[in-house]
Amino acid sequence: MREQLKFYIDGKWTDPAEMKTLDVENPATETVCGKIALGSAADVDVAVKAARKAFASWSQTSTADRVGILQNILAEYQKRAGDLAAALTEEMGAPSSLANGFQVGLGEGHLSTAIDVLQKFRFEEQRGATLIVKEPIGVCALITPWNWPLNQIAVKVFPALATGCTMILKPSEIAPFTAQIFAEILHAAGVPAGVFNLIQGDGPGVGEALSGHPDIDMITFTGSTRAGVEIARNAAHSVKRVTQELGGKSPNIILDDEAFATHVAGSVAGMMANSGQTCSAGSRMLVPNARMQEAMDIAREAASQVTVGDPNTDVAMGPVSSKVQFEKIQGLIQKGIDEGATLVAGGTGRPQDLEVGYYVKPTVFANVTNDMTIAREEIFGPVLCILGYDSVEQAIEIANDTEYGLAGYVAGADLDKARAVARQIRAGWVSVNDGFDFNCPFGGYKKSGNGREWGEFGFHDFLEIKGILGYSPEPT
């Protein structure tokens, strides 16, 4: 049983202003596995004051100093990798292979990338007699979700540190353990007091206080579009910068060629990773209508190969994160059946022999039309929708017929054709044949948010741009 009843503020573990606690549930067992303190506006005030005080000195540190701190963090992160993975499995049900692999690996990858970017980043540039300076924006509030906890902490904390900002992190109360270990890592690495602060809590208690606080200069949020709208509204009174990575209903266009079967099978497996709890998941697979039955047969077989069960064992898929999430997914699966989609695999209820835990059957629907609820709403579970198209032009039209624009995928043997399709998808992050790059900007169009994370592009939102005119004599 983990008890995390203190917050990390101003370089030390401190008691909350008022002790109020929340039980944390293990989604694989439906039992309480820990307890955290819930913060309040009073705790936010203390953390903001510490961050504001620390900003005066941290913002003036050299690039070399910040690189040194990030390298220290990398060394400590690697020491605690096993602890982080164990916490992930316990708090949000990530299978051990996923927790020890991609979940922890993403955090390390973003940290290594931030170090590399910082070493080359130009914070000053002279243009004629004018000096263009990129300066840290100030005190930042970072609000992160439960589905990829370390990834989302990493893409906010490391660019903030690298650019000279100070910060307050509020992780999801559903998956709080990794954030606590993360704070221990930064403390051990020698991050100066007040530069990084951690307050556990929920949206009403801490999120609202952060987004509306007049002495916070920027808020960066990852989560639902609904919550993002409320955060932006709350932040508007103080005219702070708001960046958001929100929902997605991403298209995955499978082109009609000799690689079709391989791409369909791989896309099914990819959709089920992390129990489908990925905002950028390719949850709308588009296939030629002439090959719909073939796609259904391939998808059925691929889904049957996805093992589901205790995340501490050798399975591909664990539970979803909570009872609320489980019930939402069940309702949407039933909605797909009711609206006439063809159920190819899975369906409602738990998988066989799994009576305890928030386990969802790997589910595939075919003959889905883009006006169905399951094609419009973000399900955030292991549910794949297969839609048909008659031409590539129609596939692109269907792909873009969504209020979201976070990600898109194109798979095809003809690279030139795949590239041409990728250019026409209205999304911020489009992957051709499963391409992946830590330096690629990540973020959305439309209701999927604003701003960009990852690599050099993740630095930009944490910087203000100052022009100093007459900095040097006019060139002759």
User: Known catalytic residues?
Assistant: 245, 279
Spatial neighbors of 248 by CB under 8 A, at least 6 apart, are 279, 280, 281, 283, 378, 404, 405, 406, 407, 444, 448
CA 118 to chain CA mean position, Å: 22
Separation between Cα atoms, residue 310 and residue 316, nearest integer Å: 10
Secondary structure of 60-97 in the HEC alphabet?
Answer: CCCHHHHHHHHHHHHHHHHHCHHHHHHHHHHHHCCCHH
Rounded to 5 degrees, φ, ψ at 223 are: 170, -155
Q: Are 384 and 364 in contact (CB under 8 A)?
A: yes
User: Which has the closest alpha carbon to 450: 433, 435, 428?
Assistant: 428
Q: Half-sphere exposure (CA, 13 Å, Cβ side) for 103?
A: 29
Give the amino acid at 139: V
Cβ neighbors of 204 (< 8 A, separation 6 or more) are none
Instruction: State the virtual CA torsion across 222, 145, 347, 267 in degrees, nearest 10.
Output: 60
